[in-house]
Each structure stands twice: as C-alpha cells, then as structure tokens.
Amino acid sequence: MCGIVGYAGTAAANEILLKGLERLEYRGYDSAGIALVNGDGVHVYKEKGRIAILRDSMDQAQPGPVGIGHTRWATHGAPSQVNAHPHQSRSGRFTLVHNGVIENYEYVQREYLADVEMVSDTDTEIIVQLIEKFANEDGMQTEEAFRKTLSLLKGSYATALLDELNPETIYVGKNKSPLLVGLADGVNVVASDAMAMLQVTNEFVEIMDGEMVIVTRDDVQIKSVDGDTVTRDSYIAEIDSTDIEKGTYPHFMLKEIEEQPFTMRNIITKYKDENENIKLDEHIRQAVLDADRIYIIAAGTSFNAGLVGKEMIEKIAQIPVETHIASEFLYNMPILSQNPLFIFISQSGETADCRGVLVNVKELGHKTLTITNVPGSTLSREADYTLHTYAGPEIAVASTKAYTAQMAVLAILSVDTARAKGIEIDFDPMQQLGIVANAMDIFMEKKDELEQMARDYLSVTRNCFYIGRGMDYHVCMEASLKLKEISYIQAEGFAGGELKHGTIALIEEGTPVVGLATQESVHLNLRGNMKEVVARGANPLMISMEGFEEADDKIVIPRVHELFTPLVSVIPMQFIAYYAALHRGCDVDKPRNLAKSVTVE
Ligand code: F6R
C-alpha cells in the first residue's frame, strides 16, 4: 500500500527518491509523487499511474538536496493526479505525504477547516491545511503546529512534511503505519521500509507510535508525544540488495517460486543447532507449552498457511488450534480459552488487520508470537516473540516462497513442541524439509510441461475450480487465490465433498477442475468427487502423490511425509497460475487493485 520516502543530504534527491519509490512499487500503488526542495522553493510533481510516468514528468526538474516522495494506493478518493500525494497547504508553504487512514478527517475538516476549500478528495489534505492554519493563525512554529495537528488525528499515519521556510528539514510523524529513519554520513533518509533506501544506507532507527522525528542531513531528533527527546539505538537491516533485484528473471514471481528449495534449505540451517536439534528460543517453547489453545490470526495466503499450521500443530503437538481471518476476528472475537497463545502469521509483518487483533489481545494480557519474513516489522516488534521465516525479500504481490516458508516454520514449531511434551515423533522435521526441497527441485525442471497445462486449461476459461480434502483442501484455497489474484480468472478452492451441496451447479462443459489427492485417508474419496464433476462436463486436471497415482493423472508429486505435502503440491499450482497470468497478458508482479503490504484495515 502507500509508501513514503524522504531524503535530506547533499546529492540530487530526484533520482534517489525515484529509485526509492521504485523499490516501494511492490507494495501496490496507483499514483506517485515527489516534492523537491531546490533553490527557489518546493516543487511538486505527481502523476496517476506508474512511476515511469512520474519519472518522465520530472525530466526537467531542477535537482535539490531535500525531498519527499510517495506511492498512493487509493482509499479516499479515486486514483488521480489531484488525489496523488504530496498535498500542499493553501499558500503552498507546507507540503506533505501520508500513508494510513485518518478516521476523523471529516470531523477535523468541519471543526477546524470549514473556511478552507479542499483541493482533493483525500483524508490526507486536512493534515497539511491544519498545520498551516495553526502556523498562520496561532503563530505556532512548524514543529508545534505539526505536533498539535497530529494530536487531533484519529487513525493511522506515517507522514512526512516539508516547510518552505525551513527547507532543510523533514518533519516526520508516525502512528500505526510503518516508518523508519535511515542514517548515513551527512545524509539521513525516511522510508516505509528499509528496502526503499538501501541505496543510501542499511542503518535504520525504528520510530514508535506517537513519535515525531525532525530530520536534517546532519541530525535526527526523535521526540515523544510530549516533545521529550528520545534516544534509540539504530540497527543494521540485513538485506542483500541483490535479493531485491530481478536479475535475469522476467518476473519476481518466477524468481520467488524458484527460490523455494533454497528457502527450505535455509530454514533447515537457521533452525538446527550444532547437535542437529531444533534451535528455538526457550521462551517461545515455553509459551507454546503453556497454551491450552492456539489462535492463529492471519490474512490471505498467510491465512491459508495458518490452516495447514492448524493441522500440523494439532496432529503433531496435540494442542487445539483455531485459525482465524484477522479482519473477522478483530470485530467478532470468539470465547477464548483460559491460556491462549496468539500466533500471527504475516509475510510483511505490517498487515493492519493482524495488528488490530494484536493490540486487542495484548490489552487482554495474552501471549503473542509473530511468524514473519520481516523481523523488524510492526507485528514482530509488538508481539512478545518472533519466528523468522528466512525467505528473503518477497517482492511479487502474489506470495509464494513466504507461504511455504511459513508452513516449514510451523512444522518445526509443531515438532519442537511435541518433543518438549514427550510425544513420540517418528520423523525428523529437518530431514523431511530436505526431502521437500528435493521434491520442489523436480518441478523447476518441469516448467515447460506446467506452462503447457496452463495454456491447455486456462487460456480462455472464465472460471476454474480446485478441489481437495483435508490438507489438500487448504492447498486448493491457496492455489485458487494465486490464480485469481494474478490472472483474474474466477477461481475457487472447495472441499471435495462439499461441491455437490451447491457449487457443482457451476460446472459446465469444459470447466477446468483441478483435483488434488495426496492424503491417504481421503484420496479415493476425492477421486470420486472428480468423477462427479467429470460426469457434468468438467475438464479435469488431476494431481496426486506417488503411491496414490493413476494413469490419467497430469501431475504426480514425489512422495513426501503426508503433513508436508502442501509445501510440494503448491509448487505446480504456483507455476500454473504464473503461466496462466502470463498468457492472458496480465501484469504478473503487480496485479490490479492489489497491494503487497496491506497497512489499512
Ligand atoms: C496473496 C497475498 C496476500 C497476503 C495477505 C497477507 O498472494 O500475498 O493474500 O498473503 O495480504 O499479507 P501478510 O502475509 O503480509 O500479512
């Protein structure tokens, strides 16, 4: 979703800000803008559409050493040039970018700005107009006017402000939305995430909710809500900048699909100690052991991983688990057990729906654990404990390697808990993950076949169904999400036995139905369900596992432990979704309407 960058240094800010915005592109956006300070004031450039368009429009921009930039994912007001950020105050003195949602913007407008004509339809514009009002009418200094304005806002914001009268300073405020300040020699920067400013520095400072930061090229002052100076250590972001480049791959999604065997092996290394035992923080182990019930909270693909995680934890560690969609749980909390543990699964660690739940359950005093790919993220910082998925930056909007990494970490956690409880486990999770990695490798060699299947089944279809049972059903939900989000084919994942209770009415002559059968107890039932749809004209694409295969199966996954099958069976599904989107001419890495990091509720 929206992303922010800021630069205060000596070099020309134009290119650095544009590069920063390009690195935020993966979050999803529909317009972009930059404000540059140069010799004769603040100049705003903003455009609807891709950053390439903004870049072109800045062709003649006079370089300056200070600036702020923004990618906007529309919430209030359509994607348009006028609604794009930065926004300026009436006189043009103040210029501001904002990420988040101001819930009380209509109230603020009515109460304080009734005499100010708004230019845009955004919730953001009131912030910059109010700052100017306090500065002009109440004679406040910029810092004071900014603090007073922020204190009146309800909702989430990460925001950066320029004042034409103090052109060397960027004023920054944060509440709930992610924001970091980066430090370098004679240069300081602001960014929604570290990746955006890696070209300048890898040293960052976290900003906490309610804080304000005054950033110049030589100084960074963090201030509390009350205006007191805060000191905080910086940290080094351990991201290799080559990880965030596509290299020779045409798309990040393809690169990330192919990175999955490596990710599995990486996870094995990170979670194994020198005695080949599972390496896990003792406090995390104890928190899981203390739990009488685990509540997994997640969204989208991470929710789908959570469904598999439930099966793993219940079957291996024998602790009851409920997996909930974060946005539902937030406003409909079920009756909780006596000693719950909340596990948040989030690739980005920034998903606002999850964060809402985290804040609520922390207030209730419950223990929290985040499983994330971004250890410095909000959900990671705010939970009691974090488990890292070690997948490396995931840039494509469609999540692939994060999903399999989340399930791998959940498997390790399950086995660790089982062992700590004295439950006999007849397999070694690390060895199983090694087998999984090898099985994944096989599909990397079968891309041509999978591409052909995508052509045969999905080139022209309007819809597609995925059916499975047990673990396979959860993979079908993920496979259908993958297909619909990038190819825009209406795709649904169903429990094989449930289809005949209504959905089978949608099966027509030629409707593609992907059947997945890897689970011993139900694979024959699933084949029965496939026969039911074939009898009604469906075009079947059957995926099974070695040992359960039949002659007409299109894909047979190598034999892996039954509880680890989702990590392998999803790979051909990801490839098929990728190629289907490609052949339908879709923008694979940046599907329409979607954002990578969903930082608003
Ligand atoms: C789908 C996808 C989304 C995310 C969801 C949660 O491919 O990427 O469904 O899984 O928005 O995001 P995280 O995991 O960052 O909390």
Tell me the domain boundaries of the chain. 3-242, 246-444, 446-590
- Name the pLDDT band for 245 (thresholds 50, 70, 90): confident
Which of 545, 541, 525, 546 is closest to 483 using CA atoms? Answer: 541
Q: Does the beta carbon of 346 sit less than 6 angstroms from any atom of ligand 1?
A: yes
* Alpha helices for 504-590 (secondary structure H): 523-534, 565-583
The answer to whether residues 349 and 369 touch, using CB atoms and an 8 Å cutoff, is no
Residue 591 has pLDDT above 80, yes or no: yes
pTM of the model: 0.83
Q: Which two tokens stand for residue 524?
A: 């024959």
First to last CA, the chain: 11
The confidence score (pLDDT) of residue 200 equals 94
CA 90 to ligand 1 centroid distance, Å: 38
Which sign, positive or negative, has the C-alpha torsion 379, 221, 64, 134?
positive
Of the pLDDT bands very low, low, confident and very high (cuts 50, 70, 90), residue 31 is: very high
Q: Which of 229-243, 456-470, 515-529 has the lowest mean pLDDT?
A: 229-243
The continuous run of DSSP H or E covering 95 comes out as strand 94-99
Average pLDDT over residues 238-250: 80
What is d(CA 280, CA 294) in angstroms, rounded to the nearest whole number?
Answer: 18
Which tens digits make up the pLDDT trace of 419-455? 999 999 999 999 999 999 999 999 999 999 999 999 9
548 — pLDDT class (breaks 50, 70, 90): very high
Q: What is the pLDDT of residue 27?
A: 79
We find that the CATH architecture of domain 246-444 is 3-Layer(aba) Sandwich (3.40)
Nearest CA to ligand 1 atom 5: 300
Place of tokens 């080559």: 242
Contact present, 399 and 405 (Cβ < 8 Å): no
518 lines ligand 1 (CB under 6 A): no
**Confidence label for 60 from pLDDT (cuts 50, 70 and 90):** confident
Mean pLDDT rounded to a whole number for the chain: 94
Q: Which atom of ligand 1 is nearest to the CA of 598?
A: 11
Ligand 1 within 6 A of 565 CB? no
Please give the average per-residue pLDDT across 24-42, as a whole number.
Answer: 89
Q: What superfamily does domain 446-590 belong to in CATH?
A: Glucose-6-phosphate isomerase like protein; domain 1 (3.40.50.10490)
From the CA atom positions of the chain, what is the Rg in Å? 25
CA angle (98, 104, 108) in 5-degree steps: 90
CB burial of 178-215 (b: ≥16 within 10 Å; e: otherwise) equals bbbbbbeeebbbbbbbbbbbbebbbebbbbebebbbbb
Number of H-type helices and E-type strands within the chain: 18, 25
Per-residue pLDDT at 226 = 84
CA 301 to ligand 1: nearest atom: 10
Domains 3-242 and 246-444 share a fold: no
Output the pLDDT for position 376.
81
d(CA 584, CA 25): 22
Across the strands, what pairs with 370? 344, 386
Judged against a pLDDT cut of 90, whether residue 538 lies above it is answered with: yes
Task: Report pLDDT for 111.
Answer: 94
3-242 — its CATH code? 3.60.20.10
The predicted-structure confidence for 485-510, as pLDDT tens digits, reads as follows 999 999 999 999 999 999 999 999 99
The 10s digit of each residue's pLDDT in 200-218 is 999 999 898 999 999 999 9
Average of per-residue pLDDT across 50-66: 92
Residues 587/398, Cβ–Cβ less than 8 Å: no
Span from the CA of 475 to the centroid of ligand 1 (angstroms): 15
Cross-sheet strand order for the sheet of 555-557: 490-495, 463-468, 512-517, 539-545, 555-557
